[in-house]
Amino acid sequence: MTISDFRERRAAERRIVRETVRTFVMAAQAGDIKALSDIVCQFDLVFGLGPACLRAAARLPDVPWWTKKYFRELHYRDGDHLRQELGDRILVDAYRVLLPSYRGPAVLLYRGEGADNRRRRCYGLSWSANRSVAERFAEGTSRMYEDGSVLLETLAPPEAILMKMPKRYGEDEYLVDRRSLRAVRVLQRSRRI
């Protein structure tokens, strides 16, 4: 393959991504769940497609209820995978448009987190209103992190809460934008065993 061939191939790939992003945005605005689903299935197959689609969606003023319902169910089913592939920041910015908005008061929330993540203030999206659930996560993650784990507590203001998740496993789970949290305190620390 020559450099010229490589450049032509890259240009063709970029055109495909641009066209797919355009289709994704139109599908999100129209509530076209089949088209959205078809494109989301390609996120892992086409380099850069997922981030490009979600960045474009984050710029939308709003989307219909059907689109919000689709992304709520997608996160419920594949949220961990999406976070790993796309990163929290891209996901959170898009979720502000693509998920049903939280309309409620501030909520006292807890999270089990790696101690190193606490130092860097890069907490994950999922927080629980149930302290014992967060304690179990903290105990479980203490084995995974060299520096152990922490149990965190915050009073999340409404603007920090992206969505209250449907109940599962007896947990009241909330998706939270860490950038909008005010104070986060450490309630306990666990060392690696």
Q: Would you state the pLDDT for residue 85?
A: 87
**Residues in the chain where the model's pLDDT stays below 50:** none
The predicted structure's pLDDT at residue 3: 86
The span from the CA of 146 to the CA of 142, in Å, is 8
pLDDT tens by residue, 141-163: 656 666 788 999 999 999 999 99
173: part of which helix (H) or strand (E)? strand 173-176
Bridge partners of 161? 176
d(CA 155, CA 158): 9
The CA distance from 15 to 4, in Å, is 17
Q: For the chain, percent helix, then strand, then coil, each to nearest 5? A: 55, 20, 30
For the entire predicted model, the pTM comes to 0.85
Q: Hey, what are 133's tokens?
A: 């659930």
Tell how far CA 7 is from the center of its chain: 33
Collapsing DSSP to helix, strand or coil, 6 comes out as: helix
Return the closest-CA partner of residue 90 out of 184, 182, 179. Answer: 179
User: What is residue 141's predicted lDDT score, i.e. its pLDDT?
Assistant: 63
**Residue 29 one-letter amino acid:** Q
Alpha carbon 145 to chain centroid, angstroms? 21
Other CB atoms within 10 A of residue 33 CB:
16
